[in-house]
């Protein structure tokens, strides 16, 4: 009888995603002690005691800072994310941030509200103060201004194209841009070869990169100083990619016009030139649905067929199922002669291999193999006994 996979949800997941799971093969709950998979959004797994039963983790979102990715890789547990599923939601928020900063809308709205709520003005007196005060919020228009986009992934490309369509000059920087994203990028977007050039030429900077050692503090005092007077920094990526102390110093000196971000801090929340939002990047019903659907589909495909798509710690490995065969999914350290040893064990058992694929990523690799006939438990144990094998499982159809 085919296994029923227990999926533990650690956050509220859109029903549009959960309903895609066949309830004859999947059991969904919040209190399992031995789940086969975890489905989450922002729950912190760093202090979570991973049970031996766990096969996979899927995040309905792009960032995985809340998940111990490397530690799970060492146990043969892929971590899935959903790149691009919330891209439009973030793009719209970035465009809103551009307009908020350029037209001083955030503080202008507060000013108007205070006239009524705090000063209790009305009628002609309110009209008089509105006219008298509006000049302090005079802003500037976006066409002709230069936007620098750091990171040309799913979100960065959408932001760059939208800003270009609004009449802005757009510079892009991403040394690792994929062919797919390059094709999607407007030909009017100029790709520069260094972060320093992008800062020096941009009136606005927007960041769309993960928080890793190489991006921590990417926006620093020296790079801010190279920007034109009255520039704006937007951060809808991760809080740590910006040195907030350096930004606040530049705001206080008047060198920066505004800092718009999605990561509140005590200092930023009260600063008059900071517009800080409560992590709204993917907070739309559409984005939550898209992320849930994508996460569920990837998780289901892995549990049922062993395929890996959009994993942050293992390579993409997708193989069509050979009819009438038994499939094995094998995680191993990325070192010589692993394939030879695996196929040797299968050959010694008299099993004919009909399909085989192996890919590596960093320190680990993943193999899918379809064989004619059944795979006895002792054969799996022989594979696990190979030095460098991390995990192996028989995948039922």
Which residue numbers are catalytic?
238, 266, 279
Structure token digits, residue 155: 């979100």
Q: What is the Cα 385 distance to its own chain's centre? A: 36
128 three-state secondary structure: helix
- Measuring CA to CA, how many Å separate 110 from each of 116, 133, 134, 135? 10, 12, 12, 15
- Measuring CA to CA, how many Å separate 138 from each of 19, 36, 231, 254, 259? 50, 57, 15, 16, 17
What secondary structure does DSSP assign to 62-107, as a single string?
Answer: S--TTS-HHHHHTTT--EE--TTTTHHHHHHHHHHHHHHHHTTHHH
Across the beta sheet with 26-29, the strand order is 26-29, 5-9, 37-40, 56-59, 79-80
What secondary structure does DSSP assign to 162-198, as a single string?
Answer: HHHHTT-EEEEE-TT--HHHHHHS-TTSEEPS-HHHH
Write down the H helix ranges in the chain.
Answer: 15-18, 69-73, 87-102, 105-117, 123-133, 154-165, 179-184, 195-201, 221-226, 244-253, 266-270, 285-305, 338-348, 377-384
Structure token digits, residue 217: 């503090």
Backbone angles phi, psi at 165, to 5 degrees: -65, -25
392 three-state secondary structure: strand
* Contact of 48 with 249, CB cutoff 8 Å: no
Answer positive or negative: Cα dihedral of 38, 41, 43, 45: positive
Count CB neighbours of 51 within 10 A. 13
Answer positive or negative: Cα dihedral of 245, 251, 255, 256: positive
Structure token digits, residue 56: 């996979």
* Contact of 281 with 89, CB cutoff 8 Å: yes
């Amino acid at each position: 009888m085919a296994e029923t996979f227990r999926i533990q949800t650690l956050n509220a997941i859109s029903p549009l995603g959960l309903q895609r799971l066949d309830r004859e093969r999947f059991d969904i709950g919040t209190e399992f002690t031995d789940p086969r998979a975890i489905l989450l959004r922002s729950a912190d797994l760093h202090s979570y005691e991973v049970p031996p039963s766990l096969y996979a983790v899927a995040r309905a979102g792009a960032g995985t800072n809340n998940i111990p990715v490397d530690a799970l890789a060492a146990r043969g547990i892929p971590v899935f994310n959903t790149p691009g599923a919330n891209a439009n939601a973030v793009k719209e928020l970035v465009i809103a941030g551009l307009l908020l900063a350029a037209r001083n809308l955030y503080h202008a709205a507060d000013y108007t509200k205070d006239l009524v709520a705090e000063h209790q003005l009305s009628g002609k007196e309110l009209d008089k103060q509105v006219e008298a005060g509006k000049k302090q919020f005079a802003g500037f228009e976006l066409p002709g201004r230069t936007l620098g986009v750091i990171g040309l992934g799913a979100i960065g490309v959408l932001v760059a194209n939208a800003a270009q369509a609004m009449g802005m000059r757009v510079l892009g920087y991403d040394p690792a841009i994929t062919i797919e994203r390059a094709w999607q990028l407007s030909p009017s977007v100029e790709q520069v070869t260094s972060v320093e050039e992008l800062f020096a030429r941009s009136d606005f900077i927007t960041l769309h990169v993960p928080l890793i050692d190489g991006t921590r503090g990417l926006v620093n005092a020296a790079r801010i100083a190279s920007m034109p007077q009255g520039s704006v920094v937007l951060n809808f990526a991760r809080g740590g990619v910006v040195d907030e102390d350096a930004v606040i110093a530049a705001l206080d000196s008047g060198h920066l016009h505004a800092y718009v971000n999605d990561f509140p801090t005590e200092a930023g929340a009260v600063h008059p030139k900071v517009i800080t939002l409560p992590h709204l990047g993917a907070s739309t019903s559409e984005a939550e649905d898209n992320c849930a659907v994508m996460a569920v589909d990837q998780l289901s495909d892995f549990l049922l067929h062993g395929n890996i798509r959009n994993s942050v710690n293992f390579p993409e490995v997708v193989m069509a199922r050979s009819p009438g065969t038994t499939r094995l999914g094998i995680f191993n350290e990325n070192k010589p002669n692993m394939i030879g040893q695996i196929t040797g064990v299968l050959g010694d058992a008299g099993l004919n291999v009909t399909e085989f694929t192996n890919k590596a990523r960093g320190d680990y690799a993943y193999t899918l193999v379809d064989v004619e006939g059944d795979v006895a438990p002792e054969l799996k144990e022989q594979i696990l006994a190979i030095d460098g094998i991390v995990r192996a499982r028989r995948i039922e159809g």
